[in-house]
Amino acid sequence: MSKVRVRFAPSPTGSLHIGSARTALFNYLFARHMGGVFVLRIEDTDMKRSLREHEHSISRDLHWLGLTADEGPDVGGPWGPYRQSERSHLYEEGVQRLLAEGHAYLCFCSQERLDDVKKAQLARGEMPKYDRQCLSLSAEEVESRLAAGEQATVRFKVPPGQIEYQDMIRGHLSFASDVIGDFIIKRTDGGFSYNYAVVIDDMGMRITHVIRGEDHVTNTARQLLLFRALGEEPPTYAHHSMIHAPDGGKLSKRHGATSIGEFRDLGYLPEAMVNYLALLAWHPGDERELFRLPELVEAFTMERVSKSPAIFDIDKLNWLNGVYMRELSPGRLYSQVEPFLHEADMHLEPGQREVVAAAIQSNLVTLADAPTYAEVFTADVDLKDSPHLAALREPGVTQVFSLLEEALAQFYDEYLSVEDGRAVVRMVAGACKEHGIKGRSIYLPLRVALTGRNEGAELYYLVAGLGRSRVLARLEAARAYL
C-alpha cells in the first residue's frame, strides 16, 4: 500500500505510561509527517486485567496530549473492530487456515510435562523450547483425543532457517528459528496469544509500519514467521530504545511519577510533555529544543531516532514546562491553575484572576505551584507575626502610606488592571521623589504592610490584585506598628 498506516496498540491493564506515550507520539508524528493514518487499537485479550476504565483513561490521556486517532474504538473506521476482544472470529479463521495448510498443529501436552521437558533441557545446557512431541500425532489420534474431551493448544510449526529483516532504527537483524520453538497461538481456554493476534490485526488493519519499543524485538521474529505462513507481506518495523531512570535502571514508581495522568495531576502542560517525550531519543539535527506538536510533525523523521537508551531527566521536563507556562496569556494561565487553586480552597474574584496569574507566572515550575505563590492575594495578614516589622520604621513611611492612598483614590474599581497597578506605583514613586523619600523607604515598607513579607510579587501586582479595600485596610492596620 502506498499510504502509511501505523497503530498504537496499548493494553488497558493500567494507566498510560510515559514510555507507551512516547511510542504513541512517534507513531503519530511519523503518520502525520508522511500524510498517513494513525490507528488506535485496544489489545484487551487479557480479560482478567483489562478494564474499560483503563481504556477510557488511556484515550483521555492521548487526547490531552493532542494525539488524536484517525481510526479506533471511539471514532470507528473501515478496518475494525478496533478492540481485540471483538475480533475473536477473525483469529479463529486464521487458526483454522494455519491448521489446514500444515503451519500449525494441536498439542495435548500438560503443563506438568512441559515443565519437566524444560527442566531437562536446562540441565543439559540447552535452550528451552517445545520438543514437538505432538507434531507427529496422526489425524485419527487427534480426533480420538478430542472426542475423549482432552484439551489442546494450537502451536505454530516454526520452519527452519534464518529470520531476517531490516529495522528502520536498528538496521539489519537476524534470528535463528531453531532457538524459538513451536509457540502457542491458541490456548486451551480459547484465548489467542499476543504474537498471533497482532499479526491478524496488522494484516486486517492494513498496517504498513510498526513502531514500538525494543522489548518487542524478539516478538518480531515470531510475527514475521506468521506473516510468511499466511502469505502476507509484513509491515516495516522500527524498534526504539526504552526510557531509563537517571540511575540507568528501569523507570519505576520509586523514581516518581511514571504515567501521563500523574504528570497532568502534578501540573505539567501537554505541550511540555509532548516536547519532552519527543526529545527522548529523537534528535532534531540542531540545537533547537522547543517544538510544538505541529512543528514536531514537520521535523520528525525515523532516521533521527537513536537506538541508544533515553535517560529520563525531570529537570529538563521542569525547564520545558516553565518555558511553556511563561508563554501563556494570563487568562489561559488562570484557566490552567484554577483547578489547583480550587483544590487548595483558594477563591479569587473575577477581577483578581488575570492579575494574580500574571503575578505568579514567572515563579511557576508546574501548575501545582500556583497556590503557594497565589496565597499572598487571598490569605489574611497578621503583622504581629511578621519578622519584618523593622521596615515599617523607615523614614517617611507614614507619608508613603498616605501617597498610596491618594493614588488609589483616582481609581474607582475594586481590582485594578496590571497597567493601572503600575500607574499607581509610578505615582507613589514620583511623589516620594518630590518629598525626598528614596527606594528602600518606599517599596519595602509597602510590601511588608500589604503582605507581612519582605519579598514576593512585584508591588504593582499586589496593588492591583489585592483590591482597593484590602490594600486600604492593611495600610490602616500597619499604622499601628509605625
Catalytically active residues are 253
Q: Say how far apart CA 399 and CA 395 lie, in whole Å.
A: 9
Cell of 462: 499586589
DSSP, collapsed to helix, strand or coil, labels residue 126 as coil
Cβ proximity of 273 and 263 under 8 Å? yes
Identify each DSSP E strand in 269-424 by its residue range. Answer: 310-311
Cell of 112: 506438568
Cβ proximity of 41 and 201 under 8 Å? yes
Comparing CA positions, the residue from 205, 218, 229 lying closest to residue 94 is 229
Q: Say how far apart CA 235 and CA 246 lie, in whole Å.
A: 34
Partners of 76 in the beta sheet?
A: 72
Q: Say how far apart CA 137 and CA 283 lie, in whole Å.
A: 55
Grid look-up 509484513 returns 234
Q: What is the DSSP string of 43-60?
A: ----TTT--HHHHHHHHH
β 153-156/209-213 pair status: unpaired
Q: Is 387 exposed, middle or buried (0-12, 13-18, 19+ CB in 10 A)?
A: exposed
Q: What share of the chain is helix, strand, coil (3-state, %, to 5)?
A: 55, 10, 35
β 37-40/5-8 pair status: parallel
DSSP, collapsed to helix, strand or coil, labels residue 469 as helix
Q: CA angle, 366 as apex, 361 and 370 as ends, to 5°?
A: 55
Cis peptide before 309 (omega within 30 of 0): no
Cell of 40: 488506535
Torsion over CA: 288, 292, 293, 294 (sign): negative
Partners of 155 in the beta sheet?
A: 105, 184
Cβ proximity of 464 and 420 under 8 Å? yes
Grid look-up 520452519 returns 159
Cβ proximity of 402 and 432 under 8 Å? no
| Cα dist from 208 to 3, 170, 194, 365, whole Å | 8, 18, 19, 41
Cβ proximity of 418 and 459 under 8 Å? no
Find all residues with CB under 8 Å of 95, minimum gap 6, and list them: 104, 154, 185, 186, 192, 196
Write phi, then psi, for 413 (nearest 5 degrees).
Answer: -75, 150
